[in-house]
Amino acid sequence: MNLAGNIKMAENEQALKEFLMDIDCLEPLTEWAGRFNLFDILKISRAEIRHSNVLAWLLNPNENHGFGDSIIKGLIQFVVRSAEEEIDIFEIMIMDCHDFIIQREWRNIDILAISMEDKFLICIENKIDSGEQNDQLNKYYSILEDAYPEYKKLFVFLTPDGFESSQPEYWCSMGYQDILEIIEKNRKKVTLLPDAELLVDNYIEILRREIVGDDKLIQICSEIYAKHQKALDLIYANKLDRASEVAQVLKQWATEMSEKGELEIVPDKCVKTYTRFKTKNMSELLPDAEEALSAWSTRNYYFYEIYNNKGNDFAIQLTLNSNYNTPDNLKVMFERINKLIPSKQQKDNWQWRTLFKTKKSIVEDDISDEKIFDQLNQMFKEVQEFEGKLMCLLGFTNN
């Protein structure tokens, strides 16, 4: 390591020491950090689908939360007050909301509340970390106009900050602060059963902390960060995030497959984004060179890589490397492969090529390690099928 690198390491180490010596500065955070919260345990504090599920439960007047129809009435009151167009307030406000049916993901609509008796419906499009999709709101508006032509309709665009939608003439913008106020207002009026009380109070807390913002918490965190910015930036940069968690599972699968002799993982070339391994068949086609002169500083000039897209999805791809150090026998094989499987954008003096790639698998919020393993096993079957066809085309015997 050069002098600049040594100085930076020493500065980082000193920043962490100073932070640890002042660890009592975190004491004010125990008011929040010490609490049990179901949403934290399930790691769904910002999961849009889970928030829609809870909101649908609260809006349903016939559910067992104990609020009756007060939450859906509160939402209707907010929309009526905020609506730019003329609405018959009296007719709406005297409705008996107990006959509302709440649907999730009907025609991809996040939440749909329908009163068949009053011929009235509420459509809610919920956005937390995602944005409005192309023509999405217009599509939902048209679907409901066609499906329920005689119904009175309220359209709600719900976001953390109450951003205006692309169609403000039809969609009422509503923020999670407004939802929070409705829930808290009615929470004070009722005595809930213990189970419902736990869920509702946890949800109120997670809305205030993760979505809306808690002024006191923000102030405390700002003061701690200003005092120990360098140390906290280091900790954050090296924390175990979603991508790291998925990477651990991918590497564990490759390790177990390597122990079974199905493939050969190369641990020192595995990083958060790429889990790299070799196979017997591909190493027969592209044998190791005498010197480690590939772009990976390895003797092999290919890798199968499990590409981890920020923990959101993954796929297995075969990457080839060609440079001025590539041995002649590998260059000849690369040329043969390129003629058999040409690339549309292949240049004569190419350095990297992705020869093969499986379809990606989405990593759902609640996906299990076993499910990821199953998906990887299926991808590996695709790898083996690809290798079999390639070796046959090249005149090799597939072992």
Report how far residue 335's alpha carbon sits from residue 314's, in angstroms, rounded to the nearest whole number.
29
Percentage of the chain beyond pLDDT 70 is 91
Q: Is the model's pTM score more than 0.75?
A: no
Report how far residue 78's alpha carbon sits from residue 81's, in angstroms, rounded to the nearest whole number.
5
Q: Is residue 33 part of a domain?
A: no
Residues 370, 301 share a domain? yes
What does the pLDDT read at residue 101? 95
Residues 251, 212 share a domain? no
Q: At a CB cut-off of 8 Å and minimum separation 6, what does 175 contact?
A: 158, 159, 160, 161, 162, 212
Q: Is residue 280 part of a domain?
A: yes
Residues 198, 338 share a domain? no
Report how far residue 14's alpha carbon sits from residue 290's, in angstroms, rounded to the nearest whole number.
44
Q: Is residue 2 part of a domain?
A: no
H or E segment and range at residue 16: helix 3-21
- Could you tell me if 173 and 159 are in contact, meaning their C-beta atoms sit under 8 angstroms apart? yes
What does the pLDDT read at residue 16? 78
Of 230 and 201, the structure prediction assigns the larger pLDDT to 201
What does the pLDDT read at residue 138? 93
Q: Is residue 262 part of a domain?
A: yes
User: Interior CA angle at 279 toward 334 and 377, to 5°?
Assistant: 120
Q: At a CB cut-off of 8 Å and minimum separation 6, what does 30 contact?
A: none
Residues 382, 272 share a domain? yes
What does the pLDDT read at residue 232? 80
What does the pLDDT read at residue 87? 59
H or E segment and range at residue 110: strand 109-115
Domain residue limits at 377: 242-394
Quick: pLDDT tens for 281-305.
999 999 999 999 999 999 999 999 9
Of 58 and 167, the structure prediction assigns the larger pLDDT to 58
Q: Is residue 124 part of a domain?
A: yes
Q: Is residue 125 part of a domain?
A: yes
Residue range 109-120: average pLDDT? 94
Residues 343, 277 share a domain? yes
Number of domain units in the chain: 2
- Given a cut of 80, is residue 201 above it in pLDDT? yes
Quick: pLDDT tens for 323-349.
888 999 999 999 999 889 887 666 667
Q: With bands split at pLDDT 50, 70 and 90, how would you rate the model's confidence at 175?
A: very high
Q: Dig out the tokens for 293 from the structure.
A: 């002169």
Q: Is residue 21 part of a domain?
A: no
Residues 384, 264 share a domain? yes
Residue range 192-205: average pLDDT? 92
Residue range 115-138: average pLDDT? 89
What does the pLDDT read at residue 3? 64
What does the pLDDT read at residue 86? 58
Residues 280, 199 share a domain? no
Q: Is residue 340 part of a domain?
A: yes
In the chain, the amino acid numbered 69 is D
